[in-house]
Structure 1
Amino acid sequence: MARAREDFQARASLRASFRGLTTRGRSFLAAGLAAAVCAYVLGQQDLLRVGALLAVLPLVCVVVLHRTRHQVTGSRRLAPARVAVRAEARVQLRVDNVSRLPTGLLMLQDRVPYVLGPRPRFVLDRVEPGGRREVSYRVRSDLRGRYPLGPLQLRVADPFGMVELTRSFQARDVLTVIPAVQPLPPVRLAGEAVGYGDGRVRALAVTGDDDVIPRAYRHGDDVRRVHWRSTARRGELMVRREEQPRQARCTVLLDTRHDAWTGSGPGAPFEWAVTGAASVAVHLLARGYQVRLLTDTGALVPGPDGGSLDGDSSDTAGLLLDSLAVVEHSAEPGLARAHDVLRDGREGLVVAFFGALDEGQTALAARIRQRTGAAVALTGRGLRPLGAENAADAEEEHVRALREAGWTVLPFTPRDALAELWQRADQAHPADAPGGAGAGSAGGSAGGGAR
């Protein structure tokens, strides 16, 4: 049964190959058949030979190319597989001839999304038996996202131009275009707890024996750390536990509500906010923070429970950037789900990127601030607040309400430089930050933040 199925598939594939006859091949076949008929009618043997030659030549080309097509392999190598917006990635294509016969003319084409540029096409001369050819092209995108590459298509043609057969390879690759991370200056944020960022918070006090939490003695422990009172009470050697540093925590909150943002494309305010979230997350990871990403939908990255990854911070950074590469607008009406995630009150620092806020969402953001140690809000400027008639006055009112709640508010537009705006975060007091109504300049409010 298996052998019969293979024979059927081979015959079906051969019949499909006949559809690859070009106009020249079909013309030769028709001319050969016509000559054969005329030779039979007129009784001309020489004309019959000519007709047979014309008809057999395209058939032979079909059979040869049918075998050659399945004995040519193709592969793709993408380097790197993750690039920033407007950065280039190189795609290298390789064709190997694994048959004992040379190939004819090869036409190579790779399928790529239109945002990565025109579809690459290459023409390769005959490939000797066991030989290979390599070609490459570059792709770049102004839009973040995940873009499939492939399948790779190979078109084989015979030297006479009688037949052209196409083969598609199943292998595909994915190019991830992440937001462009901008370097940020190190700043001490207003209200930041002592030891966060550049330092550490001691988890255990060392003011006296009553504050010591002992543990069982382990081979190799220093005998000078033996806690004799606990040893006498428990009947076994107990030693003082080493002081353990507690890693600073930060949540980057990204408002993705569709109604909160205007415009689209690379220069839209939402894209600026996504780039800002990526830059802040990578910057704080480099400073030793435990960073997680939160959106208004309540989705947490990394980890299934929102916890940060253990080990190298580059793993966490890669996961955050991959998530931001595909983040889109949500249909959420507000920030309630994000508030529910943050209600445990265990957050050290929250950096939020808000779109347009109405009175209800401003009040909800104020309640979020009550559960954090420090909070910085970057709010889109020039976005029409939801449900507001006078956009400018409503925007100033909402910014003022956030500052009164304790947020360090930094209004932004897509034309603002993120590094310069971030520099103001340690100069802006939550109640008197630059950029709002009645607020002083960045230089005038310097010193308001904790140093």
Structure 2
Amino acid sequence: MAADAPAGSDQQPGGLRIALAGTTTRGRSFLAAGVAAAACSYILGQDDLLRVGLLLAALPLVCVVALHRTRYRVAGSRKLSPARVPAGSEARVQLRLDNASRLPTGLLMLQDRVPYVLGPRPRFVLDRVEPNGRREVSYRVRSDLRGRYPLGPLQMRLTDPFGMCELTRSFSAYDTLTVVPKTEPLPPVRLAGESSGWGDGRRRTLALAGEDDVIPREYRHGDDLRRVHWRSTARYGELMVRREEQPHRAGCTVLLDTRRVGYYGAGPDSAFEWAVSGAASTALHMLERDYAVRLLTDTGDSVPGAESAGGGHGAHSDSADAAGLMLDTLAVIDHSASEDLSAAFDVLRSGHEGLLVAFIGELDDDTVSLVARMRRRSGAAIAFLLDSAAWSAAGDDEPDARRLEDQVQLLREAGWTALPVRPGDRLPELWRQAEGQAQQLKAGV
């Protein structure tokens, strides 16, 4: 954020009227005392008292005119470190003010606008900034609620040496702080039906394919000339080479149930926030293991990962971009008005095979049957069923607990690795339990 803020350069009609409105309590008191002294001098016939009254009344007016006509050229900038933080963590905001004029500034007060969830509005007083000088101040912000929060614009308040008048100037630029869900590192377990992110079984050699099946690409410096595909070169008019092999990344879909009817309560300790945090932790964990991850919600909306990335450094770069995109999406995700998971079921039915990890809220009988049919015959499917009622006062009812256990058992019979989630449960421990249950399921098959 950078901008120029010339003090007293307001050329709008009524600019001086705005400056008069900025007189402080001290300035108004001096003006009132001057008028009173002038009135008393007229009544009492005291010329000396009139001079005192004129001096008292003129001082704040002179300060207003002087401050209004004073032209400071200052530039302000803001730096966020970092611009994306997990919920509950702090970010540092550094403000810098540069005086680009040939005059020293007077007393300045800086105030940065921040949303109330990030803490109190920061204020700083700068006594004097010399010509071509700079000042740097910093403050910290923190939020337990995920979201995207604007910071700014930065406001600068000018005052005269006598404190008779104050003028406020605002910079136009602002920055955005993104508060993403909390994530936890997950243990590297092996799940039944899961394949590694990269592997020999996932590669196919195109050199063995027929000429019509070759997928060429543009020649790059260093390519072996023996790989030049002359038919494609003649067709496209530029040198083309064969791809020797096309790696395929193992896929993982993270399903997040956002239905409003599936969760009770709100706030950082609610069941919905646990599900969002779990989805973020799972997505990052699978991306670190070189999976092509897709984030899917109950509405059918999806955020694809780096599914077409190649190996080497490019894959890590694409995975980092995919992680940032998913975290930004989860930072602002909210409840949906959907009543069931049919939209997500349609997407999964037409999608590719792979690992499925679902974070699901409260289900009715029809929806749990739909979830049971989501599991594919190949690949693993893991479901974390949140006992949403347990996060509220209604969680003490035994029928609700028995109903959740019946739903978990139904999903297990359908081939899912299903685990109930209650307040206080941590995802890393549940992840290990999922490994044990998946191995038991594999042994039973």
TM-score range, shorter chain: 0.7 to 0.9
Name the CA shift for 1:308/1:112 in 2 (closer, same or farther; >3 Å). farther
Instruction: Kindly provide the CA deviation profile for residues 141-172 of structure 1, in whole angstroms up to 9, marking residues without a partner as x.
Output: 11211112122222222221211222222221
SS in 1 for 2:52: helix
**Residue from 254, 257, 263 that aligns with 2:256:** 254
| Corresponding letter in the other structure for 2:184 | Q
Root-mean-square deviation (Å): 3.5
Counterpart of 1:26 in structure 2 is: 28
CA contact (8 A) 1:251 1:292 kept: yes
Matched, 1:201 2:201: yes
Taking the aligned partners of 1:127 and 1:218, their CA distance within structure 2 comes to 58
Taking the aligned partners of 1:177 and 1:117, their CA distance within structure 2 comes to 14
SS in 1 for 2:389: coil
Counterpart of 1:413 in structure 2 is: 422
Counterpart of 1:435 in structure 2 is: none
More displaced 10-residue stretch of structure 1: 91-100 or 172-181:
91-100
CA contact (8 A) 1:69 1:156 kept: no
CA contact (8 A) 2:84 2:179 kept: yes
Q: Give the number of aligned pairs.
A: 414
Counterpart of 1:368 in structure 2 is: 374
Taking the aligned partners of 1:217 and 1:171, their CA distance within structure 2 comes to 44
Name the CA shift for 1:71/1:50 in 2 (closer, same or farther; >3 Å). farther
1:124 to partner: Cα distance: 2.0
| Corresponding letter in the other structure for 1:395 | L
1:52 to partner: Cα distance: 2.9
**Residue from 383, 394, 397 that aligns with 2:389:** 383
CA contact (8 A) 1:428 1:446 kept: yes
Taking the aligned partners of 1:111 and 1:8, their CA distance within structure 2 comes to 22
Taking the aligned partners of 1:449 and 1:181, their CA distance within structure 2 comes to 33
**Residue from 397, 401, 418 that aligns with 1:392:** 401
**Residue from 327, 335, 358 that aligns with 1:321:** 327
Name the CA shift for 1:210/1:11 in 2 (closer, same or farther; >3 Å). closer
Name the CA shift for 1:10/1:199 in 2 (closer, same or farther; >3 Å). same
Taking the aligned partners of 2:357 and 2:10, their CA distance within structure 1 comes to 64
Counterpart of 1:230 in structure 2 is: none
Matched, 1:299 2:301: yes
Taking the TM superposition and a 5 Å limit, the aligned residue runs for 1:36-75 are 36-37=38-39, 45-68=47-70, 71-75=73-77
Instruction: Kindly provide the CA deviation profile for residues 228-247 of structure 1, in whole angstroms up to 9, marking residues without a partner as x.
Output: xxxxxxxxxx9986232211
1:178 to partner: Cα distance: 0.7
1:250 to partner: Cα distance: 1.0
Counterpart of 1:331 in structure 2 is: 337
SS in 2 for 1:284: helix
Name the CA shift for 1:186/1:211 in 2 (closer, same or farther; >3 Å). farther
1:308 to partner: Cα distance: 6.9
Name the CA shift for 1:417/1:132 in 2 (closer, same or farther; >3 Å). same
More displaced 10-residue stretch of structure 1: 85-94 or 389-398:
389-398
Gaps of 5+ in 2: 1-8, 230-239
CA contact (8 A) 1:345 1:371 kept: no
Gaps of 5+ in 1: 1-6, 228-237, 431-444
CA contact (8 A) 2:207 2:243 kept: no
1:328 to partner: Cα distance: 1.0
Taking the TM superposition and a 5 Å limit, the aligned residue runs for 1:107-118 are 107-118=109-120
CA contact (8 A) 2:353 2:379 kept: yes
Counterpart of 2:147 in structure 1 is: 145
| Corresponding letter in the other structure for 1:429 | A
Instruction: Kindly provide the CA deviation profile for residues 377-428 of structure 1, in whole angstroms up to 9, marking residues without a partner as x.
Output: 111136379xx99312221221111111111112222312211211222221
Taking the aligned partners of 1:84 and 1:315, their CA distance within structure 2 comes to 17
Name the CA shift for 1:297/1:286 in 2 (closer, same or farther; >3 Å). same
Matched, 1:427 2:429: no
Instruction: Kindly provide the CA deviation profile for residues 266-318 of structure 1, in whole angstroms up to 9, marking residues without a partner as x.
Output: 22121111111111111111111111111001111148xx9677852100000
Taking the aligned partners of 2:429 and 2:198, their CA distance within structure 1 comes to 21
| Corresponding letter in the other structure for 1:359 | D
Taking the aligned partners of 1:425 and 1:212, their CA distance within structure 2 comes to 45
1:131 to partner: Cα distance: 2.4
CA contact (8 A) 2:72 2:105 kept: no
SS in 2 for 1:86: coil
Taking the aligned partners of 1:39 and 1:61, their CA distance within structure 2 comes to 24
Name the CA shift for 1:180/1:415 in 2 (closer, same or farther; >3 Å). same
Matched, 1:356 2:362: yes
| Corresponding letter in the other structure for 2:411 | L
Matched, 1:80 2:82: yes
CA contact (8 A) 2:256 2:297 kept: yes
CA contact (8 A) 2:100 2:133 kept: yes
Percent identical among aligned pairs is 62
Taking the aligned partners of 2:31 and 2:106, their CA distance within structure 1 comes to 20
More helix by share: 2
Taking the aligned partners of 2:241 and 2:98, their CA distance within structure 1 comes to 66
Taking the aligned partners of 2:253 and 2:175, their CA distance within structure 1 comes to 32
Taking the aligned partners of 1:210 and 1:15, their CA distance within structure 2 comes to 83
